[in-house]
Amino acid sequence: MNLSILDDLEFLKSFDKDSMLKIQASFPENCEDALRRGKVLKIPKRLSISKNVKITYTTPNNIIIAGMGGSAIGGDVLKDWLRDRVRIPIEVSRSYNLPAYANEKTLVVAVSYSGNTEETLSSFLDAIERRCMVVSISSGGLLEDFSKKLQNPFIKLPGNFPPRSAFPYLFFPLTEVCNKLDVINFNKLEIKETIKMLKILRGELAPETKTSKNTAKQLALALQGHIPIIYGFGYYRGVALRLKGQFNENSKTLSKCECFPELNHNEVVGWIGIKNLGKHFVIILIRDHDEPNVIKNRIDITKKIVLDKKANRVIEIYGKGESKLAKMLSVLYIGDFTSIYLALANRINPTPVEIITKIKSELQKKTKTIENIRQRINNYS
């Protein structure tokens, strides 16, 4: 593939029919807007849903972020970011119902960008019935309707984004929810540095920046015709999962992710038996200049004795910035741009996800999940 192909702006526009690159360029400003939307959230001390269901909002004993796909990944990043700061458990629930421990001391944040994700709506109802402290986040849909009907705390997001491109709106409001319920007081300087770094990085990754100086374009071309495998560690766990999902949805390619040190106890053995199949895989190692020495040694040793010998290529991406959040979101931002460029290099429109839409349509024909949820919500009126 000619390296100049991704520098041809007309070529990019011809396949980026829904302006995914333009949406990606607005990422830093969307972070700022998302913070503003979260700040106006009002959480009541008490909420009376019905005669028998009354909810008291206070500092929670645990947090569950209920969502699916792109709407859930903000919870993963939050969990990893706060793992060594918050003394209560944070869990991301991707299911129709909540874990058994969820109760009136649990904060449940139901996140669905469209507002119509049936698994999230089901978890929202489950949370209400268990008298959990519920906050909901969406751009509209049934989740907004149900929240207004029950007078439940709700954060309204702007519409017209593919859910996976709305990451800033699905992550930063979570920080405000935690603030308002006294889970943690965030370092405003860390968030400020992160957004400043993203604005700088945008220029480096933009379509106008030539491939010779554009990390995302270079990575996309290296991935052409191969299956990306992302290996992260520690607080890059959710970021690795994000990259995997972006390659799936934007690039329309299979991808997988794993994390150190766990992969040293199982996955590395799988590389031994693949023989010549390794030529199909490109490894993306998420690195950090401040990574713990024990992790650095694990990655370096694994790369030397396994990956360099078995994979087609090994590429390292280092987090940028000073703070943990800046590093995490810098890798995420590079991955987002890379997945879009990979789609365009393959002459694919990155936006449509027809197979997901088709599966949802077929499910609606087979089940009455949303209708049942609507009926149960109506019982509270």
The amino acid that residue 170 corresponds to is: L
Catalytic (active site) residue 360: yes
**296-to-172, 178, 290, 321, 334 alpha-carbon distances in Å:** 30, 32, 9, 19, 21
Report the DSSP beta bridge partners of residue 63: 90, 107
Catalytic (active site) residue 303: no
DSSP string, 167-228: HHHHHHHHHHHHHHTTS----HHHHHHHHHHHHHHHHHHSTTS-GGG-HHHHHHHHHTTSEE
DSSP string, 211-279: GGG-HHHHHHHHHTTSEEEEEEEGGGHHHHHHHHHHHHHTS----EEEEETGGGGTHHHHHHT-GGGGG
DSSP 3-state assignment of 287? strand
Q: How many CB atoms lie within 10 A of CB 274?
A: 13
Phi, psi values for residue 17, rounded to 5°: -70, -20
Catalytic residue among 45, 188, 265, 289: 265
Catalytic residue among 360, 362, 368, 371: 360
Token output for 138 = 């969406």
Q: How many CB atoms lie within 10 A of CB 171?
A: 24
Residues 374, 22: Cα–Cα separation, whole Å: 36
Catalytic (active site) residue 265: yes
Cis amide linkage into residue 28, ω under 30° from 0: no
**35-to-40, 47, 168, 171 alpha-carbon distances in Å:** 9, 25, 9, 9
Place of tokens 């009002």: 42
Catalytic residue among 176, 249, 258, 291: 249
Q: How many CB atoms lie within 10 A of CB 186?
A: 16
* Active site positions, annotated: 249, 265, 360
